[in-house]
Amino acid sequence: MDNLLRLSVLDQSPVISGCTPAQAVHETIRLAQAAERLGYHRYWLAEHHALAALGDPCPEILVTRVAGETSTIRVGTGGVLLPYYSPFKVAEQFRMLEALYPGRIDLGIGRAPGGDRTTALAMGEGRYPAAEHFPEQVQYLVAYLDDAMPPEHPFAGVKAMPAGPTAPQVWLLGSSDYSGALSAQLGLRFAFAHFISADGGDVVVQDYKRRYQPSAREPGPHALLCVFVICAETAQEAERLSASIALRRLNTDYGVNAPVPNHEEARAYPYTEADRRRMAHHQRRVVQGTPETVRSRLLELREQYEADELMVITITGDYDSRLRSYELLAGAFNLCQPASAPVR
């Protein structure tokens, strides 16, 4: 492995046109098993709601299956959308996961809605999630996980079960200075979503490290950079494969809730000049090309962002090309075979 670089996978369980959401979930399990064989370090599952293109609304459930179908790779959420939930219940869920798979569970948490406004209201039974309470929710969640609720708190005697000798790693996810600053303030690991926002992210991560306040959980800062990647044998093939996610993002811009276009649909779509300008803007957040090109660019981003780890997300118009992208990338980085025991 290059300079002991940890390379990981974020899976949004993409639903490709012509396939079903159930197929997408089973492809996630297959891909996780492949990622473990290839030597990837973590496998995170995303949470989205009522989106035709992304098939996992409950990653905490899918984590159980993925961890059970693998043996060494760390498995987690990228992430649980905490404003929708009780911090105590999330702590219980992840203490249970940690009890089942000790030393392998990551709890990534975010505050994004994970769907449109109507869906967010449905999730909140008519109330939009109150993001202003997010910092307090995160503090409560960590306190429940670590059995460290302040003694004067009314819930100090409430214990999240099952208790055990280890606890899941907690990561705060985000694509803004808000998330970076909160991670630093609370002494948590920080995962920056370059695939969502490529503008100014290096400053966000650098500020997180500079302003970090050590905690009992994490004595020093630790930053992960998540990048959208399409890797293929040739630059031309990578360009062809990128058309599906480009059209999917275009659909999102236009409010079209549809599956990820397959290769044929992406090729046949009647793009306008305005469409192409939008796609070019989104393409700035994609690293694509041959294994050598992708490796070089990812290492540049790692240095620019001062990232401790890299994570990649790949969506194409079919499962096989997505798997092949991860295979080529693993080869480019000389990822070692998975260890006999998980590594934190």
Q: What pLDDT was estimated at residue 337?
A: 53
Residue 331 has pLDDT above 60, yes or no: yes
3-state secondary structure 153-217: CCCCCCCCCCCCCCCCEEEEEECCHHHHHHHHHHCCEEEEECCCCCCCHHHHHHHHHHHCCCCCC
Q: What pLDDT was estimated at residue 123?
A: 86
Q: What pLDDT was estimated at residue 314?
A: 99
Mean pLDDT of 196-219: 96
Contact at 8 Å (CB) between 156 and 180?
no
Q: Which two tokens stand for residue 1?
A: 């492995």
CA atoms within 13 A on the CB side of 155: 12
Rounded Cα–Cα distance for residues 293 and 103 (Å):
34
Q: pLDDT tens digit string along 127-152?
A: 777 778 999 999 999 999 999 999 99
Count of other CB atoms within 10 angstroms of residue 20: 12
Radius of gyration for the alpha carbons in the chain, expressed in angstroms and rounded: 20
Q: pLDDT tens digit string along 53-97?
A: 999 999 999 999 999 999 999 999 999 999 999 999 999 999 999
CATH number of 2-332: 3.20.20.30
Rounded Cα–Cα distance for residues 86 and 28 (Å):
27
Q: Which two tokens stand for residue 151?
A: 């003694």
3-state secondary structure of 81: strand
3-state secondary structure of 321: helix
Q: pLDDT tens digit string along 281-293?
A: 999 999 999 999 9
Q: What pLDDT was estimated at residue 341?
A: 44
